[in-house]
Amino acid sequence: MLRRMKGDLVGSIFIFILLMVFWLLISASADWQHILVGAIFSFILTVFWTNLNISEEYKTEFTIKQLFLLIIYFIHLAKEIVLANITVAMIVLNPNLPISPGMVIMRCDLRRSLIRVLYVNSITLCPGTITVELEDNLLIVHAFTRTYAEELEHWPLYQKLLKIEDVYKK
């Protein structure tokens, strides 16, 4: 059981750290009992995750460069969410209510599942847009205004995810 964890040690450590951070965020306590329980359950879940999902030909392939790029991505995502909230609030508070809702069909050239899910959820997190469907390399998005729809095709966060995905190739 632990043999597979050794085969993808970096991925296992990454999963363990993610689970511990999540545990500490939801437990809202940092005393030794919470940390110990979180560490035990994080370790058990990491072992089971590794045995279910990691094989010799498919490893997590997580690097420090990807972590750095993800941190930058989440900072930019937070900025985009705040700006989208302000824009939607201005539209809703405008007496003319200048909305022009519609659906947009776009190409999504991201290949890795996790990166694709991160992209479509980022679109949905930003007010004014909702991802309706992602099938193969086509993405259907409902946009609050025509401007939102046009901006999605050149969204800077998409370019950042392409950079993160390029790290996998190297």
Sequence ranges of the domains in the chain: 2-53, 64-169
Q: What average pLDDT score do residues 129-142 get?
A: 88
Q: Looking at residues 6-29, what average pLDDT do you find?
A: 79
On whether the CB atoms of residues 78 and 107 are closer than 8 A, the answer is no
Per-residue model confidence (pLDDT) at position 61? 63
Q: Which two tokens stand for residue 92?
A: 């809703």
pLDDT band at 41; cut points 50, 70, 90: very high
| Range name among 39-48, 49-58, 106-115, 151-160 with the lowest pLDDT average | 49-58
Residues 6 or more apart in contact with residue 146 via CB below 8 angstroms: 100, 102
Other CB atoms within 10 A of residue 157 CB = 19
pLDDT confidence bin for 28, thresholds 50/70/90 = confident
- Is 90 exceeded by the pLDDT of residue 76? yes
User: Which whole number is the average pLDDT over 130-143?
Assistant: 88
The listed CATH number (3.60.21, 3.40.1620, 3.40.50, 3.30.70) that belongs to domain 64-169: 3.30.70
In this structure, are residues 22 and 7 in contact, taking their beta carbons and an 8 Å threshold?
Answer: no
Q: For residues 56 and 23, give the distance between their C-alpha atoms in angstroms, rounded to a whole number.
A: 29
| pTM exceeds 0.75, yes or no | no
**pLDDT tier at 62 (50, 70, 90 boundaries)?**
low
Give the separation between CA 18 and CA 11, rounded to whole angstroms. 11
